[in-house]
Copies of this chain bind each other. A is one copy, B any other.
Amino acid sequence: MTPLVRAIAVAAPLPSLGDNTGDLDRLKKVLAPQLGGGMPVVPYQRLSKVAVRFRAAGFAGAAIINDMAGTPVLVDFLSQPPKVLAGMALDLGTTHLEATLLDLSTGAVLARADLENGQIRFGADILTRIHHAAKDEGLAELHAAIIDSVNQLATELAGRAGLAAVSEIRALSVSGNTSMVHFFLKLNPCHLCREPYIPMVNAPDPCLAGELGLAIHPAAVVWLLPSVGSYFGGDLISGVLASGLDQQPETCMLIDVGTNAEVIVGNREWLIACAGAAGPALEGGVARMGMRAGPGAIEHVRIDPTTGEIGYETIGKGKPKGLCGSGLIDLVAELYLTRQIDIRGKFRPQAAGERLIAGSEGYRFVVVEGKDAADGQPVVLGQVDLDALMRSKAAMY
């Protein structure tokens, strides 16, 4: 497998009246046999830098070659081969970023680090961010926030690995869910949240770090693991590759629980996958009374099958403010077990009794009355919330 970036040692014959080809042509010619005979491409913005550095190094040293979707791209020239050829592997999570710095010459791990995703201030869940991206400067803000987080993480990694500068990182591979990849590339994912849930792109071509405003080397290749579909991103593909699920003779299951959760079942002959909201995506994004798992969040619910009385526990034991993900799942399960909702997730008024109130947006089920709640507002679950939960948890590719 060709690494994303390579340093290839070369020593070219010196120019003379009898051998007066151009500096860059000289370098390409001496590189071609080491690249399987093909000439590398030099992007315009790197042309002058490569040629000047090649000459300054006395026409010998190390050429830096990116692999851009199979095409060798010549982006830099160093007088000496670099001690390490640092590449960053990044997991672009909705809530957290995780990264590993590797020496691509040897495969050795140089450092690891993680960081909270700076986009959280625009919404804990992806749907809120997709809606934010539709606003005037929304997409630019989300893009700037994620690039800033990646830059912080890269700087942290460079420091831990003892690199002289973050710009010594010369490659970046990114795995993330489809929406995160859109934000990272400053693409508007507005069609991702409406049926039929279409991304702008699943498999973007590699680009250079400078084009995205990244702090790593401006000519570092940025490669993104391809997404499969609307909510099956490169992060899931990474999981399949890392676990070897697609090579197994036995049928296995891969569960990736993040802000969104994905499940893949399959073997070397077939794979089937489904995805749904989890964590903050479920808590904040699906139900209007949903909230992150903090003080005042209902996390357990029991409904007495005989009396219909509702028992609950809140985080911190205080008065309830809303429902976190676990509380929401508990509540819906208990409502189903006590037959207050049917198998399609619809309220059954004859069973739910007086806690069910009909309104302009359909039924609302009062979990906690206003007098018992933290801020005097009842904690309720509407038919709308139930429908959203069903859709979210049943999402399937």
Contact = CB atoms under 8 A, between A and B. Distances in A.
Interface of A: 15-17, 20-25, 41-45, 47-48, 51-52, 55, 69, 71, 185-188, 191, 195-205, 207-208, 211-212, 227, 229-230
A188 B47 CA distance: 11
Given A187-B48, A187-B51, A198 B41 contact: no
Query: Binding site of A, secondary structure by majority: helix, strand, loop or mixed?
Result: loop
B229 A20 contact: yes
A380 B42 CA distance: 49
The 7 closest A-B pairs by CB, nearest first: A44-B207, A22-B202, A22-B199, A24-B201, A22-B201, A17-B196, A51-B200
A20 B200 contact: no
Given A17-B196, A20-B230, A25-B203, 8 more contacts: A16-B196, A20-B196, A23-B191, A25-B201, A47-B201, A47-B205, A48-B186, A51-B187
Contacts of A43: 205, 207
Contacts of A71: 71
A333 B21 CA distance: 34
B23 A205 contact: no
Nearest to A55: B191
Nearest to A42: B205
A47 B229 contact: no
Contacts of A188: 48, 52
Contact of A15 (B24, B69, B196): B196
Contacts of A24: 200-202, 204
A172 to B, nearest CB: 13
Contact of A198 (B15, B198, B208): B15
A71 B69 CA distance: 12
A205 B41 contact: yes
Nearest to A195: B17
A196 B26 CA distance: 14
Contacts of A25: 201-203
Contacts of A185: 44, 47
A208 B230 CA distance: 32
Contacts of A21: 198, 202, 229
Contacts of A41: 69, 205
Contacts of A199: 22-23
Given A20-B197, A196-B16, A201-B25, A187 B230 contact: no
A206 to B, nearest CB: 9
B17 A200 contact: no
With a 10 A CB-CB cut-off, give which of A51, A201, A230 has the most chain B CB atoms.
A201
A309 B6 CA distance: 71
A263 to B, nearest CB: 18
Contacts of A15: 196, 198
Nearest to A17: B196
A22 B198 contact: yes
Contacts of A187: 47-48, 51
21 contacts: A15-B198, A20-B196, A21-B198, A21-B229, A22-B199, A22-B200, A22-B201, A23-B191, A23-B198, A23-B200, A25-B201, A25-B202, A41-B205, A44-B207, A44-B211, A45-B211, A47-B200, A48-B186, A48-B187, A51-B201, A52-B200
Given A44-B185, A44-B205, A47-B204, A20 B69 contact: no
Contacts of A227: 22
A197 to B, nearest CB: 6
Nearest to A28: B203
With a 10 A CB-CB cut-off, give which of A51, A186, A208 has the most chain B CB atoms.
A51
